[in-house]
Amino acid sequence: MAEIRLENVSRSFGATKALSDVSMTVPDGSFVVLLGPTGAGKTTMLRMVSGLSLPDSGEVFFGGHSVTKLEPAQRNVAMVFQQYSLYPHLTVRENLAFPLKSPLLKTSRSEIERHVSEVAEVLQISHKLDNKATKLSGGEMQRVSIGRALVRNPSVFLMDEPLSSLDAKLRADLRLELKRIQSDRGATFLYVTHDQVEAMTMATHVGVLDHGALVQFGSPREIYENPVSVYAASRLGQPRINLLPADLFGRAPGGAKTIGLRPEQIHQGEGFESTVKRVERLGDQTRLHLSLLNHDIITVTEAHTPLRTGDKVKVKPERPFYFDAAGARIHE
């Protein structure tokens, strides 16, 4: 495996700046998730690393060596796309084996069979090995597509929203499997998503992108607990952070425009009186939708709370975040 380093990488498509002077290091053996909405630059960065696109300026390094001018095949990367990339006329077994049949790898037939069997078992498709790709469901096709990357031992695995088209249970199962595979192999994963649950549960590091700029890079916990901006704070957390006028609870720091409160940063039982608008019971916890001075707030409470719609509950902030008019964090 290899450390990946992007150094001042920029890329434009006409007048659109897809990446703007991005510098980032993906540590060897890490699981890095690129997080942001559509148009943030996530897929463009993945294409820079894979070699499918070249930067207008800047350098890409694998293990300290520049690969900027190398073709994708020379970079030894395995890539999984959002849409299935299978050969429809081949069986699942043949699709999984195909990457190992490259003359450059010189993989023996027995070794190919072993790798295919192991990956098929992990992805729960062993019973489908002799089926044609066209006879599979969408979820099975995507598992085969992921398997085509996992059979290899590349320098880095690149994944572009590979779970987005799967049902909720399969997404949850494969999140665990991908993380286990990455950890067991000590593999380097660079993974694109806009799903914050995937970022929180799988990543060792998260890169938050906004219109081609890297706005924050760190562990999921670091970004959740110490966001640098409203934008970064809004990328992680379910339910989303409450963003309210800075002076809603009284005096705010100078220059503060917005107060940010995650559900656990709202203390119940004292402070300002709010009204319960809705009680959302989720089994292990209950979300309270509150109205305070005509502002909506979401917080969480114990699963078996007796609170009902229309009840009054007092709340106050604890360790809140403050942001200025531009959305940048203000430290008290």
Inform me whether the pLDDT recorded for 119 exceeds 90: no
Sign of the dihedral defined by the CA atoms of residues 195, 171, 83, 145, in that order = positive
Q: pLDDT-derived band of residue 1, with 50, 70 and 90 as boundaries?
A: low
CA–CA distance, 290 with 207 (Å, rounded to integer): 32
Confirm if 253 and 332 have CB atoms less than 8 A apart: yes
Asked if pLDDT for residue 106 goes beyond 80, the answer is no
pLDDT tens digits for 149-206? 888 878 899 999 888 877 788 788 888 888 888 888 888 999 999 888 899 999 999 9
Q: What is 241-330's CATH topology?
A: OB fold (Dihydrolipoamide Acetyltransferase, E2P) (2.40.50)
- Each residue of 34-59: pLDDT tens digit? 999 888 999 999 999 999 999 999 99
| Whether 19 contacts 7, CB under 8 Å | no
The structural domains of the chain, with segments of one domain joined by +, span 4-234, 241-330
Instruction: State the burial class of residue 204 (Cβ atoms within 10 Å of its Cβ: 0-12, 13-18, 19+).
Output: middle
In this predicted structure, what is the pLDDT of residue 269?
A: 86
For residue 189, CA distances in Å to 12, 204, 209, 323 come to: 25, 10, 17, 33
Looking at residue 94, its amino acid is E
In our burial notation (b when 16+ CB lie closer than 10 A, e otherwise), range 137-146 reads eebbbbbbbb
In this structure, the strands spanning 77-80 and 156-160 are parallel
Average pLDDT of the residues of the chain: 90
Instruction: Count Cβ atoms below 10 Å from residue 262 Cβ, excluding itself.
Output: 23
Position 92 pLDDT exceeds 80: yes
- Phi first, then psi, for residue 26 (nearest 5°) are -100, 105
3-state secondary structure the chain: CCCEEEEEEEEEECCEEEEEEEEEEECCCCEEEEECCCCCCHHHHHHHHHCCCCCCEEEEEECCEECCCCCHHHHCEEEECCCCCCCCCCEHHHHHHHHHHCCCCCCCHHHHHHHHHHHHHHCCCHHHCCCEHHHCCHHHHHHHHHHHHHCCCCCEEEEECCCCCCCHHHHHHHHHHHHHHHHHHCCCEEEEECCHHHHHHHCCEEEEEECCEEEEEECHHHHHHCCCEHHHHHHCCCCCCEEEECCCCCCCCCCCCEEEECHHHEEEEEEEEEEEEEEEECCCCEEEEEEECCEEEEEEECCCCCCCCCCEEEEEECCCEEECCCCEEECC
Q: Is the pTM of this model over 0.85?
A: yes
Q: Is 175 exposed, middle or buried (0-12, 13-18, 19+ CB in 10 A)?
A: middle
Third-level CATH fold of 4-234: Rossmann fold (3.40.50)
Query: Could you give the C-alpha distances from 84 to 145, 154, 202, in angstroms and in order?
Result: 6, 20, 22
The pLDDT of residue 78 is: 87
Residue whose token pair is 């901006």: 229
Contact (Cβ atoms closer than 8 angstroms) between residue 275 and residue 290: yes
Q: What is the pLDDT of residue 296?
A: 95
Percent of the chain at pLDDT > 90 equals 56
**Nearest residue to 52 (alpha-carbon basis) of 177, 149, 158:** 158
Within a 10 A sphere around the Cβ of 12, how many other Cβ atoms? Answer: 15
Phi, psi (degrees; rounded to nearest 5) at 248:
-60, -35
